[in-house]
Amino acid sequence: MTAPATDQRAITMQVENGIAVLTFDAPGAPVNTFSAAAQDDLRRAFETIHRDTSIRAAVILSGKRDNFIAGADIEAFLDFRTADDAEAASRAGHADFAAIEKGKPVVCAINGGCLGGGTELALACHWRIATDSPKTTISLPEVQLGIIPGAGGTQRLPALIGLQAALDMILTGKTVRAKKALQLGLVDEMVHPSILRRVALQRASELADGTRQREAKHRGAGEMLLDENPIGRAIVFRKAREGVLAKTKGLYPAPLAALDAVAAGYTSDGDGYQTEARLFGELAMTPESQELVFLFFATTALKRDMGVEVAPLPKPLPVERLGILGAGFMGAGIASVAIPAGTIVRMKDADTARVAKGLAAVREVMREKLVKKQVTRPQFDDLLLSVSGTTDYSGFGNVDLVIEAVFEDLQVKHQVLREIEAVVPPRAIIASNTSTIPIGRIASASVRPERVLGMHFFSPVHKMPLLEIITHDGNDPQVVVSAVSYGRRLGKTVIVVRDGPGFYANRVLSPYVNAAGLLLDEGVSIESIDDALVKFGFPVGPITLVDEVGLDVATKAGAIVAEAFGARMAPNESIQRVIKSGRLGRKGKRGFYVYDDDGKKGGVDASVYDLLPTGQKRTTVPAARIVQRCVYAMLNEAVLCLEDGILRSARDGDIGAVFGIGFPPFRGGPFRYIGRVGAASVVGTLDELEREFPGRYQAARTLRDMAESGEKFYPAGKPV
């Protein structure tokens, strides 16, 4: 984030009755970050505080409404040329915060998001107060950027709240609300925002005159035993390492490094801070961190993109009432994200049994929220009151948006579209949740095609972050802007793509899954295919994925792209044969893997090989080649989507792949990955694969051009 140049300071100070009140309010910026200028301001303010004998104590507050401090300025990371540069930044943070810790009493008054370096500043203070505002959260999200807390967080947090609780925050980057922070001893008090300043000033005064002492949180005997006994600690570290490896498969270096930094703090030579600085420096230069930092910038840039290039930008239409057609898995899933976003939802299906099932599914997602304490009991009750069901179109007369999630059949879609248009107001937007049928074809039956577009949610809707909005040439830009705006309100990462077979996500997934199917045709084992792609960084392998989405759905999507793109996507034999045998995957409890009655996945179902072309006869293909055959098909297809204008930018393609289909985040997405491998090398591999599998790997024109010119999707030096 680049704040406009100004003479105004980020941190200003005024002294009231011997208490220095520091207000952090970065000029012209939506959030406070520790830019070089802000760090200078902080350093100078504390030099004054320490020098000026009339100042007894200090209070740090934020001038922003919903943000305390968002941590270090991530944009400044782009200037690190070597690990030493990053290590020096960490050491500077250590020195600044040590000066605060060693000096006069400082009260940290937290209202709004307190992240990364902001939390580390709070840890160096002598008293912490958090407001009970729902916007107040505390976290150390550095591992999500592929780094570790570098301004003392790995040292001060365990010392304050205990090893286990600290690891829980540092290794995951998870966010803690004020109430939990109070329970953990991370803050000393929780107050209403309206009295934050007054209480903070009072506490500063009390700490200065000795009427209040810093109270250590009383920890349980078991906890103390673990923390203070080297054997107990060794157990905690071992378990934590195992947990990290199970979760990251060793592909993310940051959480492992965080464990080392925390552990170094417990050694007698006390070099925890040195270790933290060194590891922070090393991690900042890793490709993993650079790609995760890219994703941060890419997602924030996307938040400002409304998906249309028209001036002036139309204002989004309000969506207060939503009609959903189809109370099945997708329809109920959409309702379950719409009601927490404050929308009144009316869900229609053909009969009361289906409607009841849909409502029960919504209730289940809300119940999960209640169990996880994300909502209170009264909020839970209110949420359920905002969704209702119907078997006719009653209640659709005043909806602002309808999303249809009915059976994937053009005739059915046309019929419901006509029915919808007969009952909804003319201003209503009509979206199809189709994952396969071109939206232009659906809209062709509409009397108001400019108001019809695609909103492709991914399943399960309440968990999957991506929403693909599909536009056709005749769309009214205001309709697009409104759908984007509403999608964001639902908490989704929204990309806008142009209509075309498979849109973006399914189109790039198809040749990837197909390549896995072709490996099966040759007799490669299911495990070796899935393992190779999981080791590359996908959350599950392609064969597991087919089982998860359902063989019927995968086959249907495959047929649509095969029809459109011919030889490149000509379907494999194996998946066709398995579906013909009646196996549907997890939902039918039979697929390539074994499933128990609850749908829990077991090992490979060896009997499935009898259905495949080579029967029980196995062959091997090296893991690296399996990865190339599957992933390069996807990379090439992503570039073709950009060439065809399906994608509006490489950035959207990267975000869509990471958030929609599980492309490994630490590789940044297909376009970033091409940039890292080099277009020339990618073309070389594609040419080699094309010789082996004619028609399937013809390198996209853009890739060939880039291989020759050296041009890149992301010019160096630009974050996005």
CB 577 within 8 A of CB 583: no
> How far is it, in rounded angstroms, from Cα 243 to Cα 237?
10
Of 276, 291, 421, 468, the catalytic one is 468
- Alpha-carbon distance of 121 to 108, in angstroms, equals 8
- Whose tokens are 């200065």? That residue is 208
Catalytic status, residue 421: no
Segments of 326-428 assigned E as strands: 344-348, 387-390, 401-404
**Is residue 628 within the footprint of ligand 3H9 (CB under 6 A)?**
no
Does position 73 bind ligand 3H9 by CB under 6 A?
yes
Pure H helices in 457-524:
477-489, 505-522
89 vs 452, beta carbon nearer ligand 3H9:
89
- We find the least distance from the C-beta atom of residue 190 to ligand 3H9, in angstroms, to be 20
Q: Which of 510, 516, 539, 526 is nearest to 627 (CA)?
A: 516
Number of CB atoms found within 10 A of residue 560's CB? 21
Candidates 27-35, 314-322, 574-582, 614-622 — which segment interacts with ligand 3H9 by CB under 6 A?
27-35
The dihedral sign for the CA sequence 395, 397, 401, 403: positive
Q: Which CB sits closer to ligand 3H9, 116 or 511? A: 116
Q: Identify residues 139-168 at the interface with ligand 3H9 (CB under 6 A).
A: 141-142, 145, 149-151, 153
| Phi and psi angles of residue 493, each rounded to the nearest 5 degrees, phi first | -85, 115
The region of 26-34, 127-135, 230-238, 286-294 touching ligand 3H9 under the rule CB under 6 A is 26-34
Residue 665 within binding range of ligand 3H9, rule CB under 6 A = no
Nearer to ligand 3H9, 173 or 558 (CB): 173
Contact 699, 683 (CB under 8 A): yes
Nearer to ligand 3H9, 90 or 436 (CB): 90
Span near ligand 3H9 by CB under 6 A; candidates 25-33, 543-551, 616-624, 679-687: 25-33
286: contact with ligand 3H9 by CB under 6 A = no
Which two tokens mark 346? 């009316």
Q: Are 348 and 416 in contact (CB under 8 A)?
A: no
Closest distance of CB 117 from ligand 3H9, Å:
4
Report the C-alpha dihedral over residues 369, 373, 375, 381, rounded to 10 degrees: 80
- Chain centre to alpha carbon of residue 612: 37
> Taking CB under 6 A as the criterion, which residues in 298-317 touch ligand 3H9?
300, 303-304
Task: Kindly tell me which of 504 and 659 has the beta carbon lying closer to ligand 3H9.
Answer: 659
Phi, psi of 265 (to 5 degrees): -70, -20
Q: Tell me whether residue 256 or residue 335 sits nearer to ligand 3H9 (CB atom).
A: 256
Query: Which residue among 30, 222, 566, 645 contacts ligand 3H9 (CB under 6 A)?
Result: 30
List 1, 55, 423, 720, residue binding ligand 3H9 (CB under 6 A): 1
Phi and psi, residue 312, nearest 5°: -75, 155
The residue (of 296 and 329) whose beta carbon lies closer to ligand 3H9 is: 296
What phi-psi label fits residue 693: left (phi over 0), alpha (psi between -120 and 50 degrees) or beta? beta
Q: From the list 10, 60, 72, 631, which residue makes contact with ligand 3H9 (rule: CB under 6 A)? A: 72
Which CB sits closer to ligand 3H9, 93 or 307? Answer: 93
- Residues in contact with ligand 3H9, shown as a per-residue x/- string from 354 to 393 under the rule CB under 6 A: ----------------------------------------
Does position 502 interact with ligand 3H9 (CB under 6 A)? The reply is no
Residue 663 C-beta: closest distance to ligand 3H9, Å: 21
- Residue 713: name the closest of 670, 664, 663, 655 by CA: 670
Torsion (CA) 70, 75, 77, 79 in degrees, nearest 10: -150
CB-based contact 92:56 (threshold 8 Å): no
Handedness of CA 224, 227, 229, 232 (dihedral sign): positive
Q: Is 120 in the site for ligand 3H9 (CB under 6 A)?
A: yes
Cβ atoms of 320 and 344 closer than 8 Å:
yes
Q: At 387, list the tokens.
A: 């969704």
Give the range of 87-95, 208-216, 225-233, 396-404 binding ligand 3H9 by CB under 6 A: 87-95
Is residue 272 involved in binding ligand 3H9 (CB under 6 A)? no
Please tell me the distance from the alpha carbon of residue 463 to that of residue 658, in angstroms, as a whole number: 14
DSSP tag of 367: H
- Rounded to the nearest whole angstrom, what is the least distance from the CB of residue 78 to ligand 3H9 in the complex? 10
Number of residues that bind ligand 3H9 (CB under 6 A): 29
Q: Which of 21, 42, 89, 106 binds ligand 3H9 (CB under 6 A)?
A: 89
Among 20, 26, 74, 236, binds ligand 3H9 (CB under 6 A): 74
Cβ closer to ligand 3H9: 35 or 572?
Answer: 35
State how beta strands 11-16 and 429-432 pair: unpaired
Among 19, 61, 70, 516, binds ligand 3H9 (CB under 6 A): 70
> In the bound complex, what is the minimum distance in angstroms from residue 44's beta carbon to ligand 3H9?
18
* Interatomic CA distance for residues 544 and 569, integer angstroms: 20
When binding is defined by CB under 6 A, the residue of 31, 308, 399, 481 that contacts ligand 3H9 is 31
In sequence order, which residues have a C-beta less than 8 Å from that of residue 88 and are 6 or more positions away? 281
Minimum distance from residue 32 beta carbon to ligand 3H9 (Å): 9
Burial 491-522 (b: 16+ CB within 10 A, else e): ebbbbbbbbbbbbbbbbbbbbbbbbbbbbbbe
Beta carbon of residue 669, minimum distance to ligand 3H9 (angstroms, whole number): 18
Phi first, then psi: give them for residue 361, nearest 5 degrees.
-65, -40
**Residue with smaller CB distance to ligand 3H9, 289 or 471:** 289
**Least distance to ligand 3H9, CB of residue 7, Å:** 21
Q: Among candidates 665, 661, 653, 666, which has minimal Cα distance to 714? A: 653
Looking only at Cα atoms, what is the longest distance across the chain? 86
Closest to ligand 3H9 by CB, 283 vs 361, is: 283
Of 46, 56, 113, 420, which one interacts with ligand 3H9 (CB under 6 A)?
113
Q: Which residue is nearest to ligand 3H9 (CB)?
A: 116
Residue 99 token pair: 């000066």
**If binding is defined by CB under 6 A, does position 93 make contact with ligand 3H9?**
yes
281 is an interface residue for ligand 3H9 by CB under 6 A: no
Residues within the interface to ligand 3H9 (CB under 6 A) = 1, 30-31, 33, 67, 70-75, 89-90, 93, 113, 115-117, 120, 141-142, 145, 149-151, 153, 300, 303-304
Q: What residues act catalytically?
A: 468
